[in-house]
Chains A and B, each alone.
Chain A
């Protein structure tokens, strides 16, 4: 158990819909990262937050947005969903003070039909 909690574990929805994925980081970690892993693909970096502020951005689509709340949990919002958005979405956390190990959650598997 990494200490990072992601909900929901599985989500099935239709094209055009909007979903919210939630992540609670390890206790004490200030940084949260979101990654997308499509079938048989690598881990694509989406975005990083540190203590509530956006700090690094990857190839995140405009249809996607994220935020980190004062209690440090984070949400990833995916809207106008397309079939190609079907993937495993991982959240990871780290203390944030030094580049180092990321602790991944179990992921949220999104299926868009």
Chain B
């Protein structure tokens, strides 16, 4: 089955700096790569996603890049703010249509310090 590896497991940055989280996946058939943010005690929420026919996508301070050849994708957060502190999960989806399986990475705990 699909295996998604995520690094680093913890990341501490100063407010205003950039943060980068990297993920690799094993199944070349994976075609959808979302990123979820989970604040302490809360549910995971989608922050950005990218499909396999796109190399890069940006939404304000957040961007995701995808390298299908190398089977890796990354999350970039610029101008970090204290409210960015959370656990971030990457994921890769196999299948499609009415049958899909989303495999998550192990998460990155991001701490933005003042």
- The interface of chain A, by Cβ under 8 A from chain B, is 2, 30-31, 33, 35, 41-45, 48, 50-51, 55-56, 58, 90, 96-102, 104-107
Contact = CB atoms under 8 A, between A and B. Distances in A.
B97 A100 contact: no
Interface string B74-114: 00000000000000010101011111111111110000000
Contacts of A2: 43, 45
A111 to B, nearest CB: 15
Given A33-B102, A58-B101, A99 B43 contact: no
Nearest to B32: A99
Contacts of A106: 42-43
A104 B43 contact: yes
- Dominant secondary structure at the B interface: strand
A55 B104 CA distance: 18
A99 B93 contact: yes
Nearest to B107: A42
A61 to B, nearest CB: 16
B101 A101 contact: no
B70 to A, nearest CB: 22
B43 A107 contact: yes
Contacts of A31: 98, 100
B48 to A, nearest CB: 10
